[in-house]
Amino acid sequence: MVHDRLVMNGLFIGTFKSTKADTYGLGTEIEPNTFICPDGPEQGQLHYFFDETAIRQLFKGWEFISLVEQSMKYLERGRNFLGYNPFPYTTWCVLVRKKV
């Protein structure tokens, strides 16, 4: 886990797929909010999707500096869009500081 690798007061920045993403629910659900990607460059890969509660639970004990849900709404999509999508998905953007 990242927590074990960081020094005290070290920072972690990352993005996590949101349960509001267009790709949420695509593929085979193998456990709650976890899906096997059905096609495209990530075919066969597992993806876990987070809601706010799951993000806060994952970083329980950390100091949140920034927690943002970046939401993308695709008004139009071309054929095989998910295979070449040049734009970010709906994600949680997290900046946290290691505490105890």
Determine the Cα–Cα distance for residues 4 and 7; give it in Å rounded to an integer: 8
Determine the Cα–Cα distance for residues 32 and 72; give it in Å rounded to an integer: 23
pLDDT of res. 74 = 81
Determine the Cα–Cα distance for residues 84 and 22; give it in Å rounded to an integer: 14
pLDDT more than 90, % of the chain: 64
pLDDT higher at 85 or 55: 55
The CATH number given to 2-97 is 3.40.50.150
Question: What is the residue type of 87?
Answer: F
Q: Which class for 47: exposed (0-12), middle (13-18), buried (19 or more C-beta within 10 A)?
A: middle
pLDDT surpassing 90 at residue 41: no
pLDDT surpassing 80 at residue 85: no
Q: Output the six-digit token pair for 43.
A: 């075919």
